[in-house]
A and B are shown apart, each in its own frame.
Chain A
Amino acid sequence: MEVTPPFFLKNALQMKNNIIHYCNIKNNEVYLDGKKLYTGAEEDFLSFIKGVYKSFGLDYPKFYKMDTLCKLAIASSSILLNGINKEIDPNMAILLSNRSACIDVDIKHQESISQGEGSYASPANFVYTLPNIALGEISIKYKLRSENSFFIFEGFNPEFLIEYGNSLTQLGKSSSVLCGWVEVIENEYNAFMFIIKPEKGIELTKENLEKLI
């Protein structure tokens, strides 16, 4: 027997998400919707991201205490969300991914506890030893009370982000999704954040995401 979904669910299922805005931070540069906004001259990631923080007036003192992954996630999400000049939807879900979780701070933590007798675990490092802390930091900064998940993949996985992101909006869990890839190991980094929503924008396809990252 064929089941007819209720009208609101039917409408939701028919809505098609598009990429409405996106931000890239890589190779010492920051882009919003493909337009270059900043070029840093710094050689190391921490100096570069500090330059980004100052240049974009992000004004979030907690930034300094964060691990490298959270710094990159907060910088890219802030530039994206501040840059679109729209009220932030508190129901916007977050769906992030990367390859190396939070390896930078894991190594720091490991070093701090393996220095023999008298060594101490640093609480300031320890609190960041999970990649999903980045989700919490974004949610706190933008007062989002939404679904969020952080996935680890071998590489950028556009099919998964499309499928999962679509399911969040189509099932009514959220009205939009902040998706992305946020990867950093020492001085190698790449952040690609994008918002999907059933609005006019770039078609949400694997090919387009692979082009934009």
Chain B
Amino acid sequence: MEELKIELKEKIIEALNLEDMSIEDIKDTDVLFDEGLGLDSIDALELIIILDKDYGIKLTDSKDGKKIFQSIETMAQYITDHRTK
């Protein structure tokens, strides 16, 4: 799971153009939206695409997204439990 967390941080930095950040800047439990990393609704769409494209997970209920995208920790856990690739 530690490897997956690092992979997720790299993907997020690349997909969201967080150029000034490195994987060390994102803690596993950091809040990703609002007061945390400051991600917005467009970034949420990018995260949904990452789940679909790279891990074969399709989110159908937007309420799930709130829980899953809380932090790197919650994302990694969800991917581990539900990935199809």
Contact = CB atoms under 8 A, between A and B. Distances in A.
A122 B38 contact: no
Main secondary structure of the interface of B (DSSP, over half): helix
How many B residues are at the interface, by size bracket? 10 to 19
Interface string B42-83: 110110010011000000000000000000000000000000
Nearest to B53: A120
How many A residues are at the interface, by size bracket? 10 to 19
A200 interface: no
A36 interface: no
Interface string A142-171: 000000000000000000000000000000
B83 to A, nearest CB: 16
B38 A123 contact: no
Nearest to A120: B49
B53 A65 contact: no
A105 to B, nearest CB: 12
A50 B20 CA distance: 10
